[in-house]
């Protein structure tokens, strides 16, 4: 299995970008990330393209539909197929969202969890079950949200409690921190300082939509904003450099424009004097 180096910048492996990614020059990106949910059982030209890219580049995976916080039992068959996919493509880093997205069928939306002790115990147990079935440690991603169903603790305390009880890692989405901080009126850098450095496996960064000064929408459909770039640098300073993925899900520009953003990631990584290497706490 190949884990991207701490100082590395990756792109999402989207079908719309397949041709461009296959023809990209060596060193254009350090790793690729895909959602196994969208590739399980895919063969033909698309399957061959995925296999060729995963042989040439380290591949990480970010799930979409596991519904770690959902009310329905975990889909064991889906997890077993996912394990085969991860093994087949030598994936060292698999992550999912700290949210829920299904009950009696998929809802096609990542919905927020209550920040409560009960939810901590429930989700942590499901993460441990997931790790047992996958045969590997996973990371969970802090989610963007626009309302909280219930809370007896703050968001950072909730995340920390889940990570500790599940004994899993964190995929730190910096754009989600920024969006949530604006929408819920808290200090983004203070929030970052409350997270456990040793459990941060990687970072995500993305663009968002400015609906209003006090309302940001997490879209992954435009370039990264200056304030989010600054927050990424703050995260590197606080927690150290980790593999960092540029997320772009639609409104794809030419690959050259995405590579310019990867250059920005790399430059910010190299400005950190002493990058830290993730260790499990």
Asked if residue 280 is part of any domain, the answer here is no
The residue among 196, 179, 201 whose CA lies nearest residue 188 is: 179
d(CA 262, CA 21): 14
The total number of structural domains in the chain stands at: 1
For residue 50, tell me if it sits in a domain.
yes
138-164 pLDDT tens trace: 999 999 888 888 899 999 999 999 999
Would 51 be classed as within a structural domain?
A: yes
Domain that holds residue 126: 9-270
Tell whether the model's pLDDT for residue 281 goes beyond 60. no
> Does residue 96 fall inside a structural domain?
yes
The mean pLDDT of the chain is 91
| Within a domain: 138 | yes
Q: Is residue 281 part of a domain?
A: no
- Could you tell me if residue 3 is inside a domain? no
CATH code for position 41: 3.20.20.150
Whether 2 is covered by a domain: the verdict is no
Could you report the per-residue pLDDT of 181-209, keeping only the tens digit for each? Answer: 999 999 999 999 999 999 999 999 999 87
Residues 110-145: pLDDT tens digits?
788 899 999 999 999 999 999 999 999 999 999 988
pLDDT band at 214 (very low <50, low <70, confident <90, very high): confident
Indicate whether this model's pTM tops 0.85. yes
């Amino acid at each position: 299995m190949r884990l991207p180096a701490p100082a590395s910048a990756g792109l999402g492996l989207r079908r719309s970008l397949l041709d461009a990614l296959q023809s990209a020059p060596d060193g254009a990106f350090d790793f690729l990330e895909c959602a196994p949910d969208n590739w399980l059982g895919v063969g033909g030209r698309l399957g061959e393209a995925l296999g060729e890219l995963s042989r040439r580049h380290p591949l990480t995976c970010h799930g979409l539909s596991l519904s770690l916080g959902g009310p329905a039992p975990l889909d064991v068959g889906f997890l077993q197929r996912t394990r085969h996919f991860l093994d087949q493509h030598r994936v060292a880093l698999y992550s999912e969202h700290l949210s829920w997205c299904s009950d009696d069928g998929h809802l096609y939306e990542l919905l927020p969890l209550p920040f409560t002790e009960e939810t901590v115990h429930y989700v942590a147990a499901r993460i441990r079950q997931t790790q047992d079935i996958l045969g590997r440690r996973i990371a969970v991603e802090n989610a963007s949200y626009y309302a909280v169903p219930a809370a007896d603790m703050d968001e950072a305390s909730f995340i920390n409690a889940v990570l500790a009880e599940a004994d899993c890692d964190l995929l730190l989405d910096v754009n989600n921190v920024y969006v949530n901080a604006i929408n819920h009126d808290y200090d983004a850098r203070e929030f970052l300082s409350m997270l456990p450095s040793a459990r941060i496996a990687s970072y995500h960064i993305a663009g968002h939509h400015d609906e209003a000064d006090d309302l940001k929408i997490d879209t992954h459909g435009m370039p990264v904003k200056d304030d989010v770039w600054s927050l990424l640098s703050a995260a590197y300073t606080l927690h150290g450099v980790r593999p960092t993925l540029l997320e772009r899900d639609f409104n794809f520009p030419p690959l050259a424009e995405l590579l310019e953003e990867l250059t920005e990631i790399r430059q910010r990584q190299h400005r950190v004097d002493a990058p830290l290497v993730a260790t499990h706490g």
